[in-house]
């Protein structure tokens, strides 16, 4: 990886870490896992397979440092992913996220994680949230072709709607196209007095690829 890329990562980490240290709140670790019937990312299908997507993160004020993964429950390797990320959310509604995406050939594979070559790539994502409206831009660099993806979302009373557009890896002709239109809703099912199960359902249309997906999952 080029020195300029390393410099950008170190600079961003230093800024976010310094900002987080100024927070008065004490940090806390959390963990959880999502289970879905399939993995769909920004309108693209990552394997027709049920997946488990574990998360572990440390939150201190507006600063979040975490790890997220996706693993097929039926051995489909295209659903395998292991990411590291850090975010700083400002009180103004703006946020900034840096993500290291990693796509191993198979779970537990031995290879090139620490070399920071493909199948690694990095992404910087500025975002803004105001009330029920949010927008985030994503610029992928290092080991990819400077791909761009932008998504807006609106949280309604009973559901959320979203629209995303991207180029290159998101689009068949590599041009900037709308690739992700969807609606999501959540329902909590009470299992007992002390335990409830949040269910999430999504319908996702990728007009650029003329595909539609239905995603259902729950969170533990």
| Residue 4, pLDDT score | 45
Task: List, for residues 163-174, the tens digit of each pLDDT value.
Answer: 999 999 999 999
SS3 content of the chain, % helix, strand, coil (to 5): 10, 55, 35
Most confident of 57-66, 73-82, 97-106, 141-150: 57-66
Domain ranges of the chain: 3-219
Is the N-terminal amide bond of 119 cis, ω within 30° of 0?
A: yes
Give the DSSP H or E segment for 70: strand 63-72
| No. of helices (H) and no. of strands (E), the chain | 1, 14
d(CA 185, CA 107): 30
116 dihedral zone (left: phi>0; alpha: psi -120 to 50; beta):
left
Task: List, for residues 201-213, the tens digit of each pLDDT value.
Answer: 999 999 999 999 9
Task: List, for residues 72-127, the tens digit of each pLDDT value.
Answer: 998 777 778 999 999 999 999 999 999 999 988 765 666 678 877 778 889 999 99
pTM of this structure: 0.86
Pick from 56, 49, 94, 45: nearest CA to 72: 49
Give the architecture (CATH level 2) of 3-219: Beta Barrel (2.40)
Strands 160-166 and 148-155: antiparallel
| Residue 208, pLDDT score | 96
């Amino acid at each position: 990886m080029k020195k300029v890329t390393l410099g950008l990562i170190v600079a961003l980490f230093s800024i976010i870490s310094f900002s987080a240290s100024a927070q008065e709140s004490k940090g806390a670790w959390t963990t959880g896992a999502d289970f879905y019937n399939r993995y769909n990312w920004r309108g693209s299908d990552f394997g027709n397979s049920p997946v488990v997507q574990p998360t572990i993160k440390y939150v201190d004020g507006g600063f979040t440092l975490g790890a997220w993964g996706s693993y097929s429950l039926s051995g489909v390797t295209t659903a395998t992913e292991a990411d590291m990320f850090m975010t700083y959310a400002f009180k103004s509604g703006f946020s900034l996220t840096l993500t290291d995406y990693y796509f191993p050939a198979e779970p537990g594979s031995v290879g090139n994680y620490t070399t920071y070559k493909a199948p690694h790539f990095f992404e910087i994502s500025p975002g803004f949230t105001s009330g029920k409206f949010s927008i985030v831009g994503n610029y992928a660099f290092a080991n990819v072709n400077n791909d761009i993806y932008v998504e807006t979302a609106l949280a309604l009373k009973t559901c959320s709607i979203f629209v995303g557009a991207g180029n290159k890896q998101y689009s068949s002709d590599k041009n900037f196209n709308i690739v992700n239109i969807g609606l999501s809703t959540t329902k909590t099912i009470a299992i007992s007095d002390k335990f409830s199960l949040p269910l999430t359902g999504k319908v996702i249309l990728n007009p650029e690829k003329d595909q539609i997906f239905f995603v259902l999952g729950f969170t533990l």
